[in-house]
Amino acid sequence: MKAIEARDVVLSFGETPALRGASVSVAPGEIVAIMGPSGSGKSTLLHCLAGILVPNAGEIHFDGRRIDTLSENQRSVLRRDHFGFVFQFGQLVPELTAEENVALPLLLGGIKRAAALAEARPWFERLGLAGLERRRSGELSGGQAQRVALARGLVARPGALFADEPTGALDSLTGEQVMDLLVSSARAQGTTVVLVTHEARVAAYADRQVIVRDGRVNALVHS
Amino acid sequence: MTLLGLLEREPSHGYDLKRDYDTFFSRGKPLPFGQVYSTLGRLARDGKIVIGEVEPGVGPERKRYVITERGATEVESWLTEPVEAEPNLQTVLFTKVVLALMLGRPAEEYLDIQRAAHLRRMKELTEIKRTSNLVDTMLADHGLFHLEADLHWIDTTVARLDALRAVVRG
Ligand SMILES: Nc1ncnc2c1ncn2[C@@H]1O[C@H](COP(=O)(O)OP(=O)(O)OP(=O)(O)O)[C@@H](O)[C@H]1O
Ligand SMILES: [Mg+2]
């Protein structure tokens, strides 16, 4: 049983090959960390799995459905309805309050404002952010902003959460708090997680680690 | 194990073994001749090496030592098995990598296996952190930071294997 799968994915940016036959699969509810050197193709692979980029060759499947052949529009609906995202930084909308940011995926999904905010609020308690609901992103520390981003990534109970260096801008203790919350929240609601990180201590929170090297995925050889 | 590994290259005199050991592994502390010969004596007693040929004359320098099947098997399994993922492994990992390169073995594969062993241990320690009290968390953290340092070393070494191979194979 697979929730997410890439099969022999090839993708080049002009002359630059980023993925050269990358294959990986993730079971439902599994938390997988993608590791590897800088420039090896981790982010590109994540973007392919999340239906943001379309590979030149190969296939991407989500919940048994092929997604790389969908139209731009269909993929955007898929992302909105089934995927959550957390990135390294610069992702909160500065004009919105923290709770509006968390509610955003629900609002975009057509839920009424009051209901969306009511869904967003418990996340502040859960992630240790109580009292910060009305702050704007400029008034939050990096760790707080990242927890708000995490709440936003999970609020719509997505089937899959995609995270690219979610702790990359944080010190190690704050980063570990974010990872701890990410893992426990994802487990609590059964969300499948694909996480890109080059830090082994962050990857150690995942159920499984894979390594991308030169655009290919090496499953770890466990002896 | 290091001397045994050096013998896996070719039958050698005690003197050559000491010289190569000092070049690559001694880090400024030359191996005393006495220790070379006592180690070789122990290896011979355990059937891991034999005295291949005795050249005319007397003294230990006349002897050439040859690795046996049993000795070669031991080198092979030592190289292939990952080291218990504990902090501060630099000496043994370093020895493994250099020996593997000298013997033309797949050093990168060994390092990949070691990386997997490290990550598995890091996962266990992280799980301990997620479920234990502060004291255990702090102990687990100490292990995690050291294992992480080892992993950095493994990654950097993998990136430099070709250059290192050129150095150790002369
Ligand atoms: N938008 C783009 N246009 C052109 N080339 C790109 C683009 N995005 C990535 N690349 C190239 O594709 C390759 C893989 O990049 P990618 O961002 O996937 O690496 P990464 O593993 O995420 O690296 P890092 O750890 O530094 O984030 C690199 O050579 C990179 O320069
Ligand atoms: Mg990247």
Contact A220 B130 (CB under 8 A): no
User: CB–CB of A180 and B112 under 8 A?
Assistant: no
**A206 to chain B: which residues are within 8 Å by CB?**
123
- Chain B residue numbers with beta carbons less than 8 Å from the beta carbon of A180 are 130
B117-164 tens-digit pLDDT = 999 999 999 999 988 888 888 889 989 999 999 999 999 999 899 999
Mean pLDDT of B164-168: 90
Element (H, E) at B80: helix B69-80
CB contact under 8 A, A218 and B122: no
- The crossing angle, in degrees rounded to 10, of helices B107-131 and B161-168 is 130
**Which range marks the domain in which residue A54 is found?**
4-222
The token pair at A67 is 């997604």
Q: In whole angstroms, how far apart are CA A178 and each of A121, A144, B53?
A: 18, 9, 65
Per residue in B81-96, pLDDT tens?
Answer: 887 776 566 678 888 8
> How many Cβ atoms sit within 10 Å of the Cβ of residue B107?
23
Predicted local confidence at residue A168, as pLDDT? 86
Find residue A148's DSSP bridge partners.
none
CA A217 to chain CA centroid, Å, is 18
* Disruptive mutation site among A31, A173, A183, A220 for chain B (greatest number of B CBs within 10 Å): A220
Contacts of A42 in chain B (CB under 8 A): none
What's the mean per-residue pLDDT of chain B? 87
- Which residues of chain A have a pLDDT value below 70? 90, 220-223
Q: Is the pLDDT of residue B14 over 60?
A: yes
Pocket of ligand 1 (CB under 6 A): A 13, 16, 18, 36, 38-44, 198
For A133, left (φ over 0), alpha (ψ -120 to 50), or beta? Answer: alpha
**CATH label of the domain that carries residue A88:** 3.40.50.300
Query: What pLDDT score was predicted for residue A173?
Result: 85
For residues B24-47, give the mean pLDDT.
87
pLDDT at residue number A223:
42
Give chain B positions within 8 Å (CB) of A209.
Answer: 119
Q: How far is the CA of A115 from the centre of ligand 1 (A)?
A: 39
Q: How many domains does chain A have?
A: 1
Task: Find the A112 Cα to ligand 2 centroid distance in Å.
Answer: 35
Give the per-residue pLDDT at A219: 74
Q: What sections of A83-209 are H helices per DSSP?
A: 98-108, 113-120, 122-126, 142-154, 172-189, 200-203
**How remote is the CA of residue A193 from the centroid of ligand 2, in Å?**
16
Substitution site in A13, A47, A165 for ligand 1 pocket (most atoms within 8 Å of beta carbon) = A13
A221 with B130: Cβ contact below 8 A: no
How near does any CA of chain A get to the CA of B72, in Å?
A: 21
Neighbours of A125 (CB within 10 A): 10
ipTM value: 0.82
Buried b (16+ CB within 10 A) or exposed e, A126-151: bbebeebbebebeebeebbbbbbbbb
**Separation in Å, CA B74 to CA A82, A137, B17, B62, B114:** 53, 60, 18, 26, 18
A200 CB contacts (<8 Å, ≥6 apart)?
A35, B118, B119, B122, B147, B148, B151
